Amino acid sequence: MDVEEILTKSSFSMLKDKIDNRILDSLQQMGLEKPTRIQAETLPHLLLGEDIIGAAKTGSGKTLAFLIPVIDKLIKLGFTRRHGVGCIILSPTRELALQTFQVLKKVLANIDLSCCLIVGGEKKAKDILTLKKGINIIVSTPGRLLDHLQNTDNFNCNNLKCLVVDEADKLLEAGFEKHITGIISLLPSKRQTILFSATIDDKVKNLARLALRNNPIIISTNDEKQSTVVGLQQGYCICPVESRIPWLYKILKKTRKLKTMVFFSSCKSVDFHYEFFNLHCKASVLSIHGKLSQAQRKEAYQSFVEAKSGALFCTDVAARGLDIPSVDWIVQYDPPTDPKEYIHRVGRTARGLNNKGNAVILLRPEEEEFVHFLKEEKVFLDKYSFGDPPDDVQDMLENLIATNGVVKVLARRAYLSFLRCYKTHPMKKIFNIKTLDLKLAAKAFGFLEQPHVDFLKTSKKHQRQDKRSN
């Protein structure tokens, strides 16, 4: 099959009789007719059993790019439960693993291949019972899978035909390098390996050398002129630190009939803002972050996937890989740690073929330089203005902090974590705590008097050094 032919005709139907027709039926039932570019360019190679390193922007359709050939291969090899594990798919987070698993189940709707999800936060004994039944495709996070490979009796992958490493750059960033190395050492070397990543840096290349056969096919659909997808309209808004809450209220009101994701820098900040907007502003809001239980995260994710409108308050745990349908707006309330994280946050919208979305980042006047910094990374922002935010929201928050002990505790924790994130921000020249008025920042959390902060004190020696350097 010729890649250009697939791109020109741009239809899954041209794969009729080249892959099992039940897969095509599933794609049709999912409402998918045309492949995305990464699917069109990688499928011919993957269906021939070649090893692939695929680079594509987030939201480009990587999941189906590897699921289609994996499922087709196991069908053609006649896999049943007694053959055991034929494919392992590694994901960096529980949420991404769950999402991949849900897509997998849809494709397998009419196909008799067994699959399971193995992630941390679930009971290990339950995994063992599932594995004993005979599983053909496993979707897993690296830590839990390695644990089973090393310690679970009668769990082997001797018949493994395919290993998929999804979001490889995120797996490495999350510190899973040793886990993946351990997993690879316990798997058969005679297999097809598929590695997908949003970016290909030196760490990803090193992992590829370890996991893939010699001379893998490298396919990148990333546009060198632009780091984000074409259908994304993105901008920034300048807002003084003390006006942040009214600004967010206005944005949520503007987008109340749409689906919006709002990114915060810490779990405590998510908890405080969720409490205020959900319970006291009666906004339609859900929350998700790493300190919630697996059950809570799963419920919030599923609820937001099914929702027609509303907001999801989240940390960067939701910035990678999650495929939530029809997200209209991405709001970066707190700054990302670097341009890569910015790109992954906005990648939650304008996903798939010909989709559109909007994104806005909130910056203090002192932080406008970040816009020029992003431009160097091929990310281009317009300047947005949403008009003056309402004063009554700030008054309501301040009255609440003065009278409600529970909200006051949440606000204080959020304020301190906000300051800690600024103090430790990698891009100190732009997001500099020394340019932050702590009393005005406290106002953004409803405090008329600044709460006590002890971790910003500097010794007299450091103060003298600062004076000399100034």
Together in a domain, 33 and 179: yes
Has residue 458 been placed in a domain? no
In the β-sheet with 232-238, what is the strand arrangement from edge to edge? 285-288, 310-314, 259-263, 329-332, 357-363, 232-238, 382-383
In this prediction, residue 94 has a pLDDT band, given cuts at 50, 70 and 90, of confident
Together in a domain, 336 and 429: yes
Together in a domain, 214 and 236: no
Residues 6 or more apart whose CB falls under 8 angstroms from that of 446 comprise 245, 394, 397, 398, 400, 401, 407, 408, 411
Which residue among 192, 220, 248 closes a domain? Answer: 220
| pLDDT reported for residue 466 | 44
| pLDDT reported for residue 74 | 97
Instruction: Give the range of the structural domain holding residue 399, as residue numbers without chain letter.
Output: 232-443
Average pLDDT over residues 422-433: 93
Has residue 468 been placed in a domain? no
Together in a domain, 255 and 113: no
pLDDT digits (tens, 9 = 90+) for 45-82: 999 999 999 988 767 788 999 999 999 999 999 999 99
Which residue among 220, 243, 259 closes a domain? Answer: 220
Has residue 29 been placed in a domain? yes
- CATH number, domain at 194? 3.40.50.300
Q: Give me the number of domains the chain comprises.
A: 2
Has residue 250 been placed in a domain? yes
Together in a domain, 241 and 131: no
Together in a domain, 205 and 239: no
Cβ atoms of 286 and 309 within 8 Å: the answer is: no
| pLDDT reported for residue 224 | 54
Together in a domain, 240 and 128: no
Cβ atoms of 262 and 358 within 8 Å: the answer is: no
Dist. CA 256–CA 277, nearest whole Å: 12
| pLDDT reported for residue 6 | 47
Which residue among 220, 245, 280 closes a domain? Answer: 220
Structure tokens at 430: 């732009």
Together in a domain, 213 and 240: no
Dist. CA 237–CA 52, nearest whole Å: 40
Has residue 460 been placed in a domain? no
What contacts 24+ positions apart, CB below 8 Å, involve 281-286? 281/249, 281/252, 281/393, 281/396, 283/252, 283/256, 283/311, 284/256, 284/309, 284/310, 284/311, 285/252, 285/310, 285/311, 285/312, 285/313, 286/310, 286/311, 286/312, 286/313
Dist. CA 98–CA 101, nearest whole Å: 5
| pLDDT reported for residue 169 | 85
Has residue 470 been placed in a domain? no
Has residue 469 been placed in a domain? no
- C-alpha gyration radius of the chain: 24
Dist. CA 368–CA 324, nearest whole Å: 30
As a whole-number percent, the residues of the chain with pLDDT over 70 amount to 91
| pLDDT reported for residue 463 | 44
Residues 6 or more apart whose CB falls under 8 angstroms from that of 403 comprise none
CB neighbour burial string for 172-201, b if at least 16 within 10 angstroms, e if fewer: bbbebbebbebbbeebeeebbbbbbbbbbe
Cβ atoms of 322 and 348 within 8 Å: the answer is: yes
Dist. CA 381–CA 233, nearest whole Å: 8
Together in a domain, 175 and 311: no
Has residue 464 been placed in a domain? no
Q: Where are the alpha helices (DSSP H) in 377-458?
A: 392-403, 405-423, 438-443
What DSSP element (H or E) covers 163? Answer: strand 162-165
Q: Amino acid identity of 445?
A: F
DSSP 93: S
Instruction: Name the residue with tokens 């798997």.
Output: 187
Together in a domain, 201 and 265: no
Residue scoring higher pLDDT (249 or 354): 249
Dist. CA 281–CA 230, nearest whole Å: 35
pLDDT at 469 over 80: no
Together in a domain, 63 and 137: yes
Please report, to the nearest 10 degrees, the dihedral formed by the alpha carbons of residues 323, 325, 327, 333 taken in order: -30
What DSSP element (H or E) covers 243? Answer: none
Residues 6 or more apart whose CB falls under 8 angstroms from that of 13 comprise 24, 33
pLDDT digits (tens, 9 = 90+) for 260-314: 999 999 999 999 999 999 988 889 999 999 898 888 988 998 899 999 999 999 9
The torsion region of residue 417 among left (phi > 0), alpha (psi -120 to 50) and beta comes to: alpha
In this prediction, residue 226 has a pLDDT band, given cuts at 50, 70 and 90, of low
pLDDT digits (tens, 9 = 90+) for 159-214: 999 999 998 888 887 788 899 999 999 999 999 999 998 878 788 888 888 889 77
In this prediction, residue 412 has a pLDDT band, given cuts at 50, 70 and 90, of very high
Together in a domain, 276 and 206: no
Dist. CA 359–CA 345, nearest whole Å: 9
